[in-house]
């Protein structure tokens, strides 16, 4: 049944919308959206376009939805955070061999980017985040995130990673009670991965 053409959403407060979204998330309704995503993946042949098998492509779309919903829910709290960190994946360095001048500081743990290449995504992302007051870490895996977040008492964090790492990150944020925002890598792999700098800048 189509609903009436005239309605006024402003009569519902932002707080109620947020509660609605949180309840939907708690009830795992985004998983139902995932079954819709299955049809979309098939219809648009997304699996073939992005180079994944059908099952993995569907999982990826479900992860995208889950992270986006979590981002939305956490956004207000995240914006109020005073001390924020950006966690970047080391695989997005333009070079992962001896040509990358970054030292790995195991005690932190992070790669310390020396800004040796203007076209390096890590260099560009770090510069944007630092200009906005973020502490930036370039980490070899999600397991480093917990130590960084616990040692530094951040109250807001952005993670750039693949879907699987971001989903693990959601669990960590929940455990530590820190509002987070996830930004998907646009190209994944063990090296030469990519991120969309515009998406990151919007999230910062
Ligand atoms: S800009 Fe930083 S991350 Fe990129 S290659 Fe140079 S030192 Fe490594």
Q: What ranges do the domains of the chain cover?
A: 13-80, 82-204
Residue 124 pLDDT > 90, yes or no? yes
pLDDT tens across 130-186, in order? 999 999 999 998 889 999 999 998 999 999 998 888 988 999 999 999 999 999 888
Q: Is the CB of 123 under 6 A from ligand 1?
A: yes
Atom of ligand 1 nearest to the CA of 123: 1
What was the pLDDT predicted at 93? 92
Omega into 76 within 30° of 0, i.e. cis? Answer: no
User: Is a pLDDT exceeding 70 seen at residue 11?
Assistant: no
How far away, in angstroms, is 155 Cα from ligand 1 center?
27
CATH of domain 82-204: 3.40.50
pTM: 0.84
| Spacing, Cα 99 to ligand 1 middle (Å) | 8
User: Per residue in 18-61, pLDDT tens?
Assistant: 665 666 666 666 666 656 777 777 877 877 877 778 888 778 77
**Is the shortest distance between the CB of 92 and ligand 1 below 6 Å?**
no
Give the containing element (helix H, strand E) for 5: none
* Of the candidates 156, 153, 150, the residue with the CA atom closest to the CA atom of residue 129: 156
Q: Where are the alpha helices (DSSP H) in 90-156?
A: 121-131, 143-152
Check if 96 has its Cβ closer than 6 Å to any atom of ligand 1. Answer: no
Q: What is the pLDDT of residue 4?
A: 53
**Cα(178)–Cα(173) distance, integer angstroms:** 5
């Amino acid at each position: 049944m189509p609903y009436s053409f005239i309605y006024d959403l402003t009569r519902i407060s932002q707080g109620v919308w947020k509660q609605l979204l949180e309840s939907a998330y708690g009830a795992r309704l985004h998983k139902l959206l995932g079954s819709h995503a299955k049809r979309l993946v098939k219809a648009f042949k997304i699996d073939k376009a992005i180079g994944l098998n059908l099952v993995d492509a569907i999982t990826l779309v479900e992860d995208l939805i889950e992270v986006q919903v979590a981002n939305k829910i956490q956004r207000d709290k995240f914006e109020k955070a005073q001390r924020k960190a950006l966690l970047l994946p080391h695989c997005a360095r333009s070079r992962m061999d001896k040509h990358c001048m970054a030292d790995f500081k195991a005690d932190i743990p992070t790669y310390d980017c020396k800004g040796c290449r203007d076209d390096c995504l890590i260099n560009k992302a770090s510069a944007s985040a630092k200009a906005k007051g973020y502490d930036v870490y370039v980490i070899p895996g999600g397991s480093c995130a917990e130590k960084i977040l616990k040692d530094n008492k951040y109250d807001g964090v952005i993670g750039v990673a693949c879907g699987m790492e971001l989903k693990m990150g959601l669990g960590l944020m929940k455990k530590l009670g820190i509002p987070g925002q996830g930004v998907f890598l646009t190209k994944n792999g063990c090296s030469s991965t990519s991120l969309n700098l515009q998406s990151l800048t919007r999230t910062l």
